[in-house]
Amino acid sequence: MAQDFTRAYAETRDASDSLAPYRGEFYLPQDGIYMDGNSLGLLSKRAERTLLESLSDWKELGIDGWMSGRHPWFNLSEQLAALNAPLVGARAEEVMVTGSTTVNLHQLVASFFKPEGKRTKILADTLTFPSDIYALKSQLELRGLDPSEHLVQVSSPDGRYLKEEDIIAAMTDEIALIVLPTVLYRSGQILDMARLAKAAHERDILIGFDACHSVGAIPHAFHDWGVDFAYWCNYKHLNGGPGSVGGLFVHERHFGTTPGLAGWFGSRKDKQFDMDHTMTPADDAGAFQIGTPHVLSLAPQLGALEMFNEVGMDAIREKSLALTTYMTALIDEVLAPYGFVIGSPRNETQRGAHLSLEHPEAARICKALKQHRVIPDFRAPNIIRLAPVALYNTFTDVYDVVMTLQTIMENKEYEAFENVREVVA
């Protein structure tokens, strides 16, 4: 076997990894390998610390924690927005940490979808995460529009990837709004957001992006690309914890847009407690908040985001690509004979931070991996998603996971399990 496919080679790569010290910041599974950071990032010691500090503020101060303590709650979302902004290539005032992914999508569509004349349709795609489609359909129905007619979904030619040419061709004069993923959740394909935003604006169409599978994994430049809006979760690559409060971006040219879903936390801060029944919205992305922030789901992000701002997205992306490129080479060398197919782009510029490994027995292979204390991610019908995370996974992790898969296939260990997904896949 070539030198590049030995465990010693992986250990050599780890020895020269400048991000290696950050691995010690996380609670790693004992005697196991975690490869599911694209679904839920691991807990870091810093996130634990800031959560416990906020709990102490509540314990010691009660209601005074809103304006006092280690992390006063009243401006906590704004504080986190400033930490998120460099990760998405935005100005701090264009970002807000609030709501959940789907709630934020509802807010943004309610605010920016303005059907008029011929322009009464929303453009999406057939590969996007189902929750986005549910939200878009309900927004159309709330306006008395039939989703079967007014939701246009660009199809994939192969079930893995989208062609940007097809998306642009679908930008007709009937489209009022476009909502697309930054990274496809199954294959990990990155869409060219700058190109798509430019094409949309040339046709007088607003465009927004679901950035759940890209924020914290790849660099962004939402402001410079001219993206109208975006939204994302903070529990995947950003390690904010299960149910962590989400994020949204609104380009500054849209400041002053009346929020489609109004709530008192969208008020200007100095006016919020006037208790006036006429709302004075914040004059930035803060206007798109709705209700009281979930403080204990915000607090871990304070610690988690420290590391991203220390390291920078360029360094994270560099290591992420090195890990997935190494994993690709190992899969080609070791696993191809067992019927595995890589369903992610091989072109690094088009690949996010996970690899999709396709196999007809994927569900039961995932169960066998868990028996070996390797935590993967399954997506129907036949995808094993593996996400080596730059801050806490190693080249040796990658090597060991691929070799574990070889053992499972060689010994047919997967045959002990049913080829059906668990309730939570």
The set of catalytic residues is 129, 210, 235-236, 385
Q: How far apart are CA 159 and CA 139, in angstroms?
A: 26
Q: Is 264 annotated as a binding residue?
A: yes
Q: Is 102 annotated as a binding residue?
A: yes
Neighbours of 150 (CB within 10 A): 21
Distance of CA 108 to the CA centre of its chain: 17
Q: Could you write out the three-class secondary structure of the chain? A: CCHHHCHHHHHHHHHCCCCHHHHHHECCCCCCEECECCCCCCCEHHHHHHHHHHHHHHHHHHHHHHCCCCCCCCCHHHHHHHHHHHHHCCCHHHEEECCCHHHHHHHHHHHHCCCECCECEEEEECCCCHHHHHHHHHHHHHCCCCHHHHEEEECCCCCCCCCHHHHHHCCCCCEEEEEEECECCCCCEECCHHHHHHHHHHCCCEEEEECCCCCCCCCCCHHHHCCCEEEECCCCCCCCCCCCCCEEEECHHHCCCCCCCCCHHHECCCCHHHCCCCCCECCCHHHHCCCCCCHHHHHHHHHHHHHHHHHCHHHHHHHHHHHHHHHHHHHHHHHHHHCCEECCCCCHHHECCCEEEECCCHHHHHHHHHHCCEECEEECCCEEEEECCCCCCCHHHHHHHHHHHHHHHHCCHHHHCCCCCCCCC
Task: For CA atoms 308, 313, 318, 322, give the dihedral sign.
Answer: positive
CA distances from 147 to 15, 122, 129 (A): 54, 9, 17
Q: Is 27 annotated as a binding residue?
A: no
Closest Cα to residue 397, out of 14, 38, 1? 14
Q: Is 34 annotated as a binding residue?
A: no
Q: Is 288 annotated as a binding residue?
A: no
Q: How far apart are CA 259 and CA 376, in angstroms?
A: 39
Binding-site annotation, residues for pyridoxal 5'-phosphate = 101-102, 129-132, 210, 213, 235, 264, 292
